[in-house]
Amino acid sequence: QLRDDDIQSQDIEIHNGPIPLESFNTSVSDTTGLFLASMGKFYGKLVIVGSEYDSPTEHHEASLAQAVFYNRAEPVIYNGDTLGYRADDAGVVSIDNLSLRTEPEYLNFPGVPIDTIGTRYSLLNVDGLGGRGFQYYGSHEYQWGVSGSISLPPFQVNINAPAKVQVLTPAAGESFSRSHNVPIKWRGGGQVVTILISDFQEGSPAKPVLQLRLKNNRGRVVLPKRVLQLLPENRSRFLFTFSSESSFVMRLISVYQENIAVRAVTSHSLVYSLNR
C-alpha cells in the first residue's frame, strides 16, 4: 500500500495492474497515441470517443463512433483454442441519424491464418478527414439507432457525452523531475478523471505502466513525486492520457442475451519527459 498525504488528500486511486488498450483502428497497429482504455470484457459495445494527441512536434484530433456485437454461440477456434467470437450483422447502425460504415472485424493473432470474423460498424475522423464528418461534441446527448437483424432486435439508446478534456498545463514536451511534485491543470471532463501513464517510444504502441483515478474532477491535481518515482527509471519519455467518460451497461430483452457496454469517452494524450 502506497501511503502519502498528497495522494490521500486529493482522492487519488492508483492501479498498476494490466490495462488493456483498444486501437482506434483495429486493422492496423496504433502507434499514434490515439487509443482507448478498455472498459472490460463485453460482447456488445457502442462507443463514442473524442481524442487529442500532442507531442513537441505533432498535434492530432480524432473522433470515433464504433459498434460491434459478438456472438458467443459462434466461437472462432484454431488448433482447439477459442480465439474469439464472430461479430453479428446488426443491420443499419447510426449515430444521430448518421449511418456508420460496415467494416470487417479483424482477429489479430500472429501466425493464425484467420483474418476477418464478421462485421463491425465504424466512423473514424482523424484531423478533420474521414468518418463522414462525424465529430465528438462535448456536453452533447448522442442517440444510437440499430435497425436490427435476425440475431439482433432493433433498438435505440441515448448517452450524454462529457465535456472535452483538454490539458492546459504543462504543455506537451515539458520535462519533469522525479523528485518534485508536478501541478497539472485541465478543463472539461465529467465527475471522474483518469490519468493513464504509458511508456512511449516513437513508432511503437504505447505500453501502459500506471493508472490514476481522480475521484473528484477539480480541474487540477498536484501529481505527487511518489507517483513519478513508481515509473521505470530506465525510461525518459512517457505518454500521459487524461480521460473521462460516461458509461453504462444495457441488456436487450430478447434474441441478443449479452450485456452491451455503452460509452462516451473524451481524452487528451501528451508526451512528457522525466529526469532525475
pLDDT in tens, 155-179: 999 999 999 999 999 999 999 999 9
56-107 pLDDT per residue, tens: 999 999 999 999 999 999 999 999 999 999 999 999 999 999 999 999 998 8
DSSP state of 178: T
At residue 276 the predicted structure's pLDDT band, cuts being 50, 70 and 90, is: confident
- DSSP helix/strand/coil, 209: strand
> Using CA atoms, how far apart are residues 223 and 74, in angstroms rounded to an integer?
46
Cβ–Cβ contacts within 10 Å for residue 92, how many?
14
Sign of dihedral through CA atoms 92, 67, 215, 266?
Answer: negative
So what's the pLDDT on residue 32? 61
| pLDDT of 5 higher than 90 | no
Tell me the pLDDT of the chain averaged across its residues.
90
Predicted TM-score (pTM) of the model is 0.91
| pLDDT of 31 higher than 70 | no
> Using CA atoms, how far apart are residues 135 and 49, in angstroms rounded to an integer?
9
Q: 231, 238 in Cβ contact below 8 A?
A: yes
